[in-house]
Each structure stands twice: as C-alpha cells, then as structure tokens.
Amino acid sequence: MSDGGEDGASYVARLRAAVGTAPLWLSSVTAVVLDSAGSRTLLVRRDLTGLWAPPAAVLGPGAVPARVAAEAVHEDAGAQAEAEAIVGVQATREITYADGSRASYVNLVMRMRSRDDAHSAHARWFPVDSLPERMGADHRERVAMAVAPPERIV
C-alpha cells in the first residue's frame, strides 16, 4: 500500500489466522466515481455475484481512506479518480462468506471525480438516474449519497 498502512486483504488474512471464521468488525471504503458532469457513475461487475457495485476495499491499520479508494478504483475498474469528500458513513449487516467467515463493516462512502474515461472490461459507466437492475440496494444508496446536494449529506 502506497500510504504506509497495512493492505486490507493482508490485515484480514492475519486476523482470520487468529480467529478463524468468527465475526469481524472491519472498516471499508466505497468509491463512488462520478464523471465531470456528475451524471454518470463508474461501476464494476463482481465476479462472484455478477452484481454491479462501486469499487470498494477494506481499510487496514494506518490506511488513508482517500488513497485506498483511489487504489480500489484503479485496481477494480482500471480508472483514475480523485477523492472529493466523504458523503456517508454506514454500518453494514453481517455478511457470511462462502468459506463460513463472517464480517460486518463500518463503510465510508467517498465521492470521487474521474480523471479519465478509461475503464477495464469489468467496469462500465452508468447514468446515475438509470442504474443497472443487478445492483444491490446498499450500493444504490451509496450512489445516491454521492450525488445528493450537500445540504442532504449527514
């Protein structure tokens, strides 16, 4: 990780080695990337579920959320983006993964602005008012947070 913090995946692997599949409470960041007009958002198709979602990553100890979000955009979507603001903080429900491990997240929703129109084969631009059907309600809410007028942001 470029900011000197521990990579989120390495951190989770280290925790899992100690606690097995017991529930974890983790921090994460979701990068809602908007184009320059704010009318489109960049989403990635998740391999395991086929659902569309904004890029996201687990935050390891010492990580800088804006940097981790930018890295997630680059790694997940093949694009460059710059953080503008944290537009929401959410606690997720507990998720049970295929291996039986469980986790809940405190998630920072980061509004980001695209620096280019580039993207990988797993990513695509969608109008913010016409998101794909195969997208979870929690991710729809995160996009809505990013495009909401500032007075509506809590």
Q: Judge whether residue 133 has pLDDT over 60.
A: yes
Partners of 91 in beta bridges? 106
Fold of 8-152: Nucleoside Triphosphate Pyrophosphohydrolase (3.90.79)
User: What is the separation, in whole angstroms, between the first and last Cα of the chain?
Assistant: 30
Q: Judge whether residue 150 has pLDDT over 80.
A: no
Question: For the whole model, what pTM was predicted?
Answer: 0.90
Q: Which pLDDT score, from 0 to 100, does residue 149 have?
A: 82
Question: pLDDT tens across 16-63, in order?
Answer: 999 999 999 999 999 999 999 999 999 999 988 899 999 999 999 999
Confidence of residue 154 (pLDDT cuts 50, 70, 90): low
Pick 117 or 60 by higher pLDDT: 60
Q: Which pLDDT score, from 0 to 100, does residue 104 have?
A: 96
Spell out the residues 6+ positions from residue 33 whose beta carbon is closer than 8 angstroms to its own.
41, 42, 54, 55, 73, 77, 79, 81, 112, 113, 114
- Phi and psi torsions of 151, nearest 5°: -65, -15
Alpha-carbon gap, residue 26 to 101, rounded angstroms: 13
Question: pLDDT tens across 59-107, in order?
Answer: 999 999 999 999 999 999 999 999 999 999 999 999 999 999 999 999 9
Q: Judge whether residue 1 has pLDDT over 50.
A: no
Q: Which pLDDT score, from 0 to 100, does residue 4 have?
A: 63
Question: Average pLDDT for residues 105-123, to the nearest whole number?
Answer: 92
Nearest to 77 by CA among 109, 122, 143: 122
Map tokens 């710059």 to a residue.
Answer: 82
Structure tokens at 47: 């391999």
